[in-house]
Amino acid sequence: MRIIGGEWRGHRLRFAGDSGLRPTADRNRETLFNWLQPLVPGSRCLDLFAGSGALGLEAASRGAASVLLVERERRALAQLHDNIQRLHAAQRVHVHAGDAMALLAGTAHPMDIIFVDPPFAGKLLEPACSALARGGWSHGETRIYVEHAKYRPPKLPESWQVLRALDAGDVRFLLLQPQRGGGI
């Protein structure tokens, strides 16, 4: 897996292949970042369930001002720290070693771009999206990227508008925007 564009274009990311991670494929990340390109420079990004860190590190490579990677698995955390060190990204990319749901229950910091790609078997997508919708993590211009199993669509907050959607194999990719004043 490699960084597709920006400052670190072409750099390979290391991650434990036997760790159960399901990183977003290069082609799908390229499509996502084509959608997001005007919004990424200078943005504040949150990569929940970071895993390999591919989404957050891609955003940093393309000019995001700050990226917070959230991960709780020890092997994935070690690899995230290694990739950040190899890319000399520590000024813009930070790791929260802990549970994403616990972070979302705490003090919110509005983000410009949020990546939500939990393990499909964990049933964390709907609770994470609900927490994001009610927790002050977004503002009217925030973009939220969601990945889910195509044949098990989640119930997303009613206040979120689908801007883009793409199917690739058994996975659906959504780019969403919260609407002002909307509920969950």
Task: For residue 34, name the pLDDT band (cuts at 50, 70, 90).
Answer: very high
What's the rounded mean pLDDT across residues 53-57? 95
Residue-averaged pLDDT of the chain? 90
With CA atoms as reference, report the closest residue to 115 among 180, 62, 36, 184: 36
Instruction: Give yes or no for residue 17 having a pLDDT over 80.
Output: no
What's 12's DSSP letter?
B
Buried b (16+ CB within 10 A) or exposed e, 73-109: beebbebbbebbeebebeebbebbeeebbebbeeeee
Phi, psi of 48 (to 5 degrees): -75, 150
Nearest Cα to Cα of residue 19 among 82, 79, 97: 79
Query: How many residues can be counted in the chain?
Result: 184
| Domains in the chain with CATH codes | 26-178 (3.40.50.150)
pLDDT category of residue 26 using cuts at 50, 70 and 90 = confident
pLDDT of 22 reads 64
- Residues 116, 125 contacting (CB under 8 angstroms): yes
24 pLDDT above the threshold of 80: no
pLDDT by residue (tens digit) across 141-170? 999 999 998 888 889 999 999 999 999 988
Evaluate whether 6 touches 43 at the Cβ level (below 8 Å). no
Q: What is the predicted pLDDT for the residue at 20?
A: 54
182 pLDDT higher than 80? no
C-beta separation of 51 from 78 below 8 A:
no
Residue corresponding to tokens 């990546």: 115
Percent of the chain at pLDDT > 90 equals: 73
Select from 73, 112, 67 the least CA-distant residue to 87: 67
Q: Say which residues have a Cβ less than 8 Å from residue 133's Cβ, sequence separation at least 6.
A: 157, 159, 160, 178, 183, 184
Can you tell me the distance from the alpha carbon of 149 to that of 133, in angstroms, rounded to the nearest whole number? 21
| pLDDT tens digits, 73-101 | 999 999 999 999 999 999 999 999 999 99
